[in-house]
């Protein structure tokens, strides 16, 4: 009788143990790559950006008429993801493609994105879906874009359509990509449509409308699926004082607040994780942003607008700050380097992952890393000159060819998945 009880207890104990292990595996680290619709898809799409490009205003006069033919090759490109061994893919849905005219949805486009989501899942790849990545339909631009309150409602309507169709298949949603970048370039620096300069009042209105839309979509997704993970992907830069003078230290604090926390604080109750896009850090002083002479160029990227500091420890610092501020999990929704010769990219990836590992050892919960980008594409500031891709694209044949760093990233993922401890491949 006693042995029976012991056996019974042992069975219960082992079942509990099994569940505990499963639970810890449930939150599988997302190893991924990211793209956005406008940058890869191509096609004559009635969006504000495409209009702008047709007028020859885009960097190097290029257009996304063909881009890298990503719409037609979307299902083919899943093979690249498989080859990389990633378990997730962040991509965006082009609003102007699915709703080319107000309230007229394109069923074929809706089906395309739904089929893509299902195909990714069937291949063991978790889709991370971005609903807005910089571009707006032309009909939205024609009625003052985000400065118009109605745009928030129109965006929510479009988002609901996508969510209704896909919420059973999608857990991770990014409502808006880098509002801190796209709104600043649209209304302060004046080089994204609608090219307004230093229009603070309009800027403020646009910010309010974007956040209002985010909050509504956040709630809507959670009503449908309480397990969903919803956030915004912000651009972060680690602003550091160029000297230890109090005034410079203060400027760095102000810059970090104005660039990041001002934005993230507004939706701190409506984000399930902090989405961090990180590329470089900046040294600042009182005179920022009027002078760039204080940037300390140690190792700089080929980014076309101006050279930038490559600083993996900046990523560690940002994740620590975000963790202390919000106590929420973090996903690195973008991190990448334009490097046509592919000689700095493997180190870039390695060092940023190591920085995340250090942050993790200090108690930060990091649930994913997405390299930008799967393949070369149209870049907002550099056209086709900036080469971020793990895959190089021949713009004539649209053939994708892996750069050595694609294999490096693949091996790195494999090593991590086999062994929780840091064990980076050599190259």
Q: Are 171 and 227 in contact (CB under 8 A)?
A: yes
Residue number, 264 or 285, with CB nearest to ligand FCB: 264
Q: Smallest gap, in angstroms, from Cβ of residue 341 to ligand FCB?
A: 18
Q: Smallest gap, in angstroms, from Cβ of residue 333 to ligand FCB?
A: 9
CA separation for the pair 98, 105 (Å, rounded): 5
Residue number, 181 or 267, with CB nearest to ligand FCB: 181
Residue number, 238 or 379, with CB nearest to ligand FCB: 379
Residues 302-341 touching ligand FCB, rule: CB under 6 A, are: 334
Q: Smallest gap, in angstroms, from Cβ of residue 157 to ligand FCB?
A: 24
Binding pattern for the stretch 181-220 against ligand FCB, x by CB under 6 A and - elsewhere: x---------------------------------------
Judged by CB under 6 A, how many residues of this single chain contact ligand FCB? 12
Question: 400-409: which pairs have CB atoms within 8 A and are 24 or more residues apart?
Answer: 400/77, 400/80, 400/375, 402/80, 402/83, 403/342, 403/345, 404/342, 404/346, 405/342, 405/345, 405/346, 405/349, 406/83, 406/84, 408/345, 408/346, 408/349, 408/350, 409/84, 409/349, 409/371
How many DSSP H helices and E strands does the chain contain? 15, 10
Point out the residues that are catalytic. Answer: 178
CA separation for the pair 193, 54 (Å, rounded): 13
CA separation for the pair 165, 114 (Å, rounded): 7
Q: Are 375 and 392 in contact (CB under 8 A)?
A: yes
Take residue 402 and report the two structure tokens written for it: 């892996």
Binding pattern for the stretch 107-146 against ligand FCB, x by CB under 6 A and - elsewhere: ----------------------------------------
Does residue number 178 form part of the binding site for ligand FCB (CB under 6 A)?
A: yes
Q: Are 323 and 287 in contact (CB under 8 A)?
A: no
Q: Smallest gap, in angstroms, from Cβ of residue 232 to ligand FCB?
A: 12
Binding pattern for the stretch 342-381 against ligand FCB, x by CB under 6 A and - elsewhere: ------------------------------x------xx-
In 3D space, the residue among 420, 388, 415, 413 whose CA is nearest the CA of residue 68 turns out to be 388
Residues 233-252 touching ligand FCB, rule: CB under 6 A, are: 235
**Binding piece for ligand FCB, criterion CB under 6 A, among 45-53, 177-185, 217-225, 246-254:** 177-185
CA separation for the pair 324, 86 (Å, rounded): 29
Binding stretches for ligand FCB (CB under 6 A): 36, 39, 177-178, 181, 235, 277, 334, 372, 379-380, 388
């Amino acid at each position: 009788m006693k042995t029976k009880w012991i056996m019974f207890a042992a069975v219960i104990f082992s079942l509990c143990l099994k569940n505990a292990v499963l639970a810890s595996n449930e939150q599988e680290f997302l190893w991924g790559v990211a793209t956005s619709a406008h940058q890869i898809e191509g096609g004559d799409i009635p969006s504000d950006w495409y209009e702008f490009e047709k007028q020859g205003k885009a960097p190097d006069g290029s257009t996304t008429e063909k881009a890298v033919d990503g719409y037609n090759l979307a299902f083919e490109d899943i093979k690249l993801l498989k080859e990389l061994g990633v378990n997730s893919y962040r991509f965006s849905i082009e609003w102007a493609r699915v709703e080319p005219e107000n309230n007229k949805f394109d069923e074929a486009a809706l089906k395309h994105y739904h089929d893509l989501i299902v195909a990714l899942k069937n291949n063991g790849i978790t889709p991370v879906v971005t609903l807005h990545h910089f571009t707006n339909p032309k009909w939205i631009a024609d009625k003052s874009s985000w400065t118009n309150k109605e745009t928030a409602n129109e965006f929510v309507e479009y988002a609901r359509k996508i969510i209704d169709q896909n919420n059973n298949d999608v857990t991770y949603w990014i409502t808006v990509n880098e509002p801190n970048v796209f709104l600043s370039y649209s209304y302060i620096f004046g080089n994204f449509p609608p090219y307004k300069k230093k229009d603070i009042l309009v800027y403020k209105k646009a910010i309010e409308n974007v956040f209002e839309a985010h909050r509504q979509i956040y709630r809507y997704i959670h009503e449908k699926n309480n397990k969903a993970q919803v956030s915004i992907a912000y651009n972060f830069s680690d602003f550091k004082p160029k000297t230890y003078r109090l005034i410079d230290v203060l400027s760095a604090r102000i810059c970090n607040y104005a660039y990041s926390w001002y934005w993230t604080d507004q939706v701190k109750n409506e984000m399930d994780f902090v989405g961090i896009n990180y590329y470089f850090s900046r040294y600042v002083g009182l005179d920022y942003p009027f002078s760039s002479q204080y940037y300390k160029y140690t190792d700089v990227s080929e980014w076309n607008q101006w050279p930038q500091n490559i600083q993996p420890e900046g990523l560690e610092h940002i994740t620590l700050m975000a963790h202390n501020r919000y106590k929420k999990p973090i996903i690195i929704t973008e991190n990448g380097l334009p490097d046509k010769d592919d000689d700095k990219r493997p180190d870039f990836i390695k060092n940023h992952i190591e920085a995340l590992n250090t942050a993790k050892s200090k108690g930060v919960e990091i649930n994913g890393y997405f390299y930008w980008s799967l393949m070369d594409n149209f870049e907002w500031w550099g056209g086709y000159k900036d080469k971020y891709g793990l895959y190089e694209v021949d713009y004539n044949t649209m053939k994708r060819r892996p750069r050595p760093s694609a294999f490096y990233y693949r091996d790195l993922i494999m090593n991590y998945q086999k062994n929780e401890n840091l064990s980076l491949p050599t190259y």
